[in-house]
Amino acid sequence: AQSVTQLDSHVSVSEGTPVLLRCNYSSSYSPSLFWYVQHPNKGLQLLLKYTSAATLVKGINGFEAEFKKSETSFHLTKPSAHMSDAAEYFCVVSDRGSTSGTYKYIFGTGTRLKVLA
């Protein structure tokens, strides 16, 4: 069965410094992986997705993630944090094993990113 582990519930960085949000997954299939961001009182916005093409995926707002099969990881990075990046970030694996005809998302528990001025 698929599962996702976000290794840090909270991460604090100073503005202008790099961001690293860690995600490990478990999947019996070739997984599709996603990162979503949720700003306070908002829905989830897709940052980027990996669907078995290039292992380095570029997303919106300068974020990128690298799929490492050998490490079963899909960590999210950004070279320089901005105050507007403060939000909660969710790593998601898509369950292709669903028999219902739709893909089910398996969510991580989220990482809250705080950006210090």
Partner 1 sequence: ETGVTQTPRHLVMGMTNKKSLKCEQHLGHNAMYWYKQSAKKPLELMFVYNFKEQTENNSVPSRFSPECPNSSHLFLHLHTLQPEDSALYLCASSLWTGGDETQYFGPGTRLLVL
Q: Which residues pair with 55 in a beta bridge?
A: none
- Contacts to partner 1 by CB under 8 A: 32, 34, 36, 41-46, 49, 51, 90, 94, 96, 100-105, 107-110
Nearer to partner 1, 15 or 49 (CB): 49
Name the residue nearer to partner 1 (CB basis): 70 or 99: 99
Q: Cβ 48 to partner 1, closest distance in Å?
A: 10
Residue 3: phi and psi, rounded to 5, are: -155, 160
At its nearest, how many Å lie between partner 1 and the CB of residue 102?
5
Minimum Å gap between C-beta 10 and partner 1 is: 12
Q: Which residue number, 18 or 114, has a Cβ lying nearer to partner 1? A: 114
- Side-chain-side CA neighbours of residue 5 (13 Å): 8
Which is nearest to 86 in space by CA: 10, 5, 3, 4?
10
Q: 49: exposed, middle or buried (C-beta count within 10 Å: 0-12, 13-18, 19+)?
A: middle
